[in-house]
């Protein structure tokens, strides 16, 4: 950007109303507290007190202006900065911000010590999973670090306001005031180079949602200048094609300098007013910002900025200009501002001292309690004496350090020689550490899908046999009638009822706002669902084919799957991703690669129903529960006929419970999804030759066989064959580990485990390609025969 002349005269400033003078001084004080906090964050990382720091230095002033525009009920989807806004709104104290920096699980209110500094959240649910009143405060959706990842979530949070304004039947008391809420979405300028930024802004312009995206522009992405990041060197200029014009949709684009206090005060409330009333998204490009401490504590910006640029940043630092403004306009005298700066330093210094002591005092007390468990002097061995001295000399008596010291002592002296009090302490301490860092991956509330149990399907004496897609039509129609908070959307979902007709007729029956089409934009389809689910709605978002879910995988693995865990149980997003895969011939419509999902979606449920009745039962379970999930229907089974249950909208398939579809004594065959039908046919052929194969459908991959039933079956047959359509070493290897290692199945085997999978390459096209690429009936027959003969 061009470097400005640093000299301004009083006449150059637009003066704010006199009634705002006191507020301006308060804003200056908050900004100075924020800056001092940023300085302390950098100091404590560089001195070793903390591991990593990002802060607000250079980005304070626009946030105090934003605070004027925020209302109770609004949501925030920010990037890894933003403590100035929270300080301004009295939503956080410097001590709490430092507690997160120090990873103090007892005093970090944003993540329980699980997230790096700058990642903020507040509770949207209580301990029982009940929704809290979101209309009474600014709601902080838990931040993530992947650049631009917050954009899709912000879009979804804004879309929920559109839904609440449109549908009066929704139970909105705790979630919305007539859709009047804005989703405040912030992003660093360099991150606008990410595709998800463009996808989100396009989706926001098409759909018309109350989202304000603030682009925070300091001219660099770490060391890379904006000219190498963005066309025309300006994101607002580059996005001009999305700008709304008369008679068109689009977004409103605004530009403002981040050091211009009166302009910021004028712009943010006015943009918010427009967005609330019109439900039209806006972008605010905050330009000419600086970063006095560099991008983060990872390195110094002096390495890549010219001397001229560094001198410019000193002059045009927003706080330097703010002070200059207050003095030049007569709002304050220099002595008055000096006193505010001194006060800010004292406040932050006290907060630092208190936060550190609150962290260390329990650690010291725990160390003393551990040392008190050691035997008295007459019974101490040299090993225990050395252990005691090691623990006493620990500079940082972290729980993990204490645990590791006891484990080393146990290794040295042996389990039986370790004093019983130390054994008990170690057991309890390891449980505590595991819980403090690993709890709340999935719901522990009374509505957890894992607690609901199953309800068997009930059939009439003369069951009606219909194609699978009709089963889904009837099911979804019943659920939409029953639950007004249920929505479905995705590519081709609305008018034609999805490409396989599972939603056919539902848009006409329930309205275009409940069953609707989206653009081809998988990442923001998931973000749309996530934001809606975080605000009490129950979205079913469709990804047309499993092959395309990988466009949305970053959103699923980084944001959806981690939300409950990274917020320490304070937030949830019980969305359902509906997709289809397996067995259709062709490279890109035959998705069976589930191992990337099994490996990356811990924190979600992964359901692989073998037919549409089972799919309906899983949807019932998930909709009664409060966890997110992916359901993968069998693509070539929509036209296969199935018996329709009488209790279609009520029966439930329990998650994590395998189902035995055929008993057998010679071999246990474990499979799922489309391979179930293949394996059942193979079992019939084998039975004609005297080989009885037990066929078990695992039903869900996440969770997997919670009661360890498969080992019990293996104890009867002593042989295990795993069949699936993933690549060799993919999901079959995961299943094998679960049975052999987790369930102790190794001791039950009389033969090696055999896995039968798809080929290493993608499924080739047409019949020969399918035959060569995926397991066929005779492949199963021959593998089972060979394993039984071993």
Q: Please name the residue that has the structure tokens 């002591």.
A: 357
In sequence order, what are the residues at sequence separation of 6 or more whose Cβ sits closer than 8 angstroms to the Cβ of residue 542?
Answer: 488, 489, 490, 491, 493, 498, 525, 577, 578, 579
- Give the CA diameter of the chain: 99
Q: Express the helix, strand and coil content of the chain in percent, nearest 5 each.
A: 45, 15, 40
Closest CA relative to residue 547, chosen from 592, 599, 595: 592
Residue 104 to residue 25: CA distance in whole angstroms:
33
Contact between 99 and 138 under an 8 Å Cβ cutoff? The reply is: no
H/E segment holding residue 576: strand 576-581
Residue 626 to residue 450: CA distance in whole angstroms:
10
In sequence order, what are the residues at sequence separation of 6 or more whose Cβ sits closer than 8 angstroms to the Cβ of residue 500?
Answer: 469, 580, 635, 638
H/E segment holding residue 569: none
Reading the block at residue 763, the tokens are: 């499924």
Indicate the DSSP class of residue 652. B
Helix (H, G, I), strand (E, B) or coil at 171: coil
Report in angstroms the alpha-carbon separations of 139 from 75, 188, 261: 5, 21, 25
Q: Please name the residue that has the structure tokens 């997709």.
A: 579
**Residue 119 annotated to the active site:** no
Residue 597 to residue 546: CA distance in whole angstroms:
10
Closest CA relative to residue 699, chosen from 620, 608, 587: 608
Residue 60 to residue 42: CA distance in whole angstroms:
16
Helix (H, G, I), strand (E, B) or coil at 678: helix
Length of the chain measured in residues: 790
Q: Residues 589, 605, 689, 708: which is the catalytic one?
A: 589
Contact between 566 and 111 under an 8 Å Cβ cutoff? The reply is: yes
Q: Which residues participate in catalysis according to the annotation?
A: 589
């Amino acid at each position: 950007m061009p470097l400005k002349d640093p000299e301004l005269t009083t006449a150059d400033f637009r003066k704010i109303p006199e009634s705002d003078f006191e507020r301006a001084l308060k804003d200056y004080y908050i900004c100075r507290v924020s800056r001092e906090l940023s300085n302390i964050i950098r100091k404590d990382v560089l001195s070793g007190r903390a591991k990593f720091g990002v802060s607000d230095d250079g980005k304070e002033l626009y946030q105090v202006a934003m605070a004027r525009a925020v209302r109770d009920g609004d949501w925030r989807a920010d990037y890894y900065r933003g403590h100035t806004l929270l300080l301004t709104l009295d939503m956080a104290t410097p001590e709490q911000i430092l507690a997160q920096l120090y990873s103090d699980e007892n005093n970090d209110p944003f993540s329980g010590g699980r997230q790096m500094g700058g990642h903020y959240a507040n509770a949207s649910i209580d301990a029982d999973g009940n929704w809290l009143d979101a209309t009474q405060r600014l709601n902080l959706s838990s931040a993530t670090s992947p650049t631009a990842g917050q954009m899709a979530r912000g879009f979804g949070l804004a879309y929920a306001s559109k839904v609440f304004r449109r549908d009066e039947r929704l139970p909105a008391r705790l979630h919305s005031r007539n859709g009047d809420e804005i989703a405040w979405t912030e992003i660093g300028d360099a991150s606008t180079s990410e595709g998800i930024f463009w996808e989100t802004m396009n989706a926001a312009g098409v759909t018309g949602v109350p989202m304000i995206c603030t682009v925070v522009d300091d001219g660099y992405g770490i060391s890379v200048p904006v000219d190498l990041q963005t066309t025309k060197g300006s994101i607002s200029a580059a996005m001009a094609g999305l700008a709304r014009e008369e008679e068109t949709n689009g977004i409103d684009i605004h530009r403002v300098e981040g050091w211009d206090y009166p302009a910021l005060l004028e712009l943010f409330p006015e943009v918010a007013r427009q967005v609330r009333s019109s439900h039209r998204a806006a972008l605010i490009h905050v330009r000419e910002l600086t970063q006095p401490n560099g991008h983060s504590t990872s390195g110094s910006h002096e390495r890549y900025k010219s001397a001229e640029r560094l001198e410019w940043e000193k002059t045009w630092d927003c706080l330097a200009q703010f002070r200059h403004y207050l003095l030049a306009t007569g709002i304050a005298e220099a002595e008055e501002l000096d006193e505010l700066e001194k006060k800010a330093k004292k406040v932050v210094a006290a907060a630092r001292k208190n936060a550190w002591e609150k962290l260390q005092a329990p650690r010291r007390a725990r160390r003393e309690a551990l040392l008190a468990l050691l035997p008295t002097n007459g019974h101490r061995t040299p090993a225990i004496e050395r252990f005691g001295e090691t623990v006493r000399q620990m500079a940082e008596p972290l729980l993990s350090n204490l645990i590791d010291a006891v484990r080393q002592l146990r290794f040295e002296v042996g389990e039986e020689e370790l004093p019983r009090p130390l054994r008990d302490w170690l057991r309890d301490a390891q449980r505590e550490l595991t819980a403090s860092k690993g709890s709340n991956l999935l719901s522990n509330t009374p509505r957890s899908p894992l607690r609901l149990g199953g309800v068997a399907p009930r059939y009439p004496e003369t069951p009606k046999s219909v194609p699978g897609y009709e089963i889904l039509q009837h099911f979804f129609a019943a659920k939409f009638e029953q639950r007004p908070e249920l929505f479905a959307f995705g590519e081709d979902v609305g008018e034609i009822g999805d490409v396989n007709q599972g939603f056919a007729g539902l848009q006409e029956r329930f309205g275009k706002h409940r069953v609707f089409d989206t653009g081809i934009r998988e990442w923001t389809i998931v973000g749309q669902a996530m934001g809606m689910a975080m605000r009490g709605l129950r979205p079913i978002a469709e990804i047309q084919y499993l092959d395309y879910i990988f466009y949305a995988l970053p959103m699923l693995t980084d944001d959806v799957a981690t939300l409950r865990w990274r917020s320490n149980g304070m937030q949830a997003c019980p969305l359902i991703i509906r997709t289809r895969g397996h067995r259709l011939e062709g490279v890109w419509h035959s998705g069976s690669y589930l191992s990337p999902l099994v490996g990356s979606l811990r924190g979600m449920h992964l359901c692989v129903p073998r037919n549409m009745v089972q799919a309906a039962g899983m949807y019932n379970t998930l909709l009664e529960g409060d966890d997110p999930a992916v359901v993968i229907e069998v693509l070539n089974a929509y036209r296969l006929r199935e018996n329709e249950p009488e209790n279609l909208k009520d029966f439930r398939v329990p998650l994590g419970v395998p189902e035995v579809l055929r008993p057998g004594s010679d071999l246990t065959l474990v499979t799922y999804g489309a391979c179930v039908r293949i394996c059942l046919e193979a079992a019939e052929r084998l039975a004609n030759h005297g080989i009885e194969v037990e066929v078990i459908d695992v039903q869900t991959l996440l969770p997997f066989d919670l009661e360890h039933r498969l080992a019990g079956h293996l104890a009867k047959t002593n042989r295990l064959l795993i069949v699936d359509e993933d690549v060799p070493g993919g999901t079959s290897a995961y299943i094998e580990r679960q049975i052999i290692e987790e369930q102790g199945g190794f001791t039950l085997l009389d033969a090696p485990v055999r896995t039968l999978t798809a080929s290493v390459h993608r499924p080739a096209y047409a019949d020969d390609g399918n035959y060569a690429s995926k397991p066929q009936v005779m492949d199963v027959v021959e593998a089972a025969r060979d394993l039984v003969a071993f």
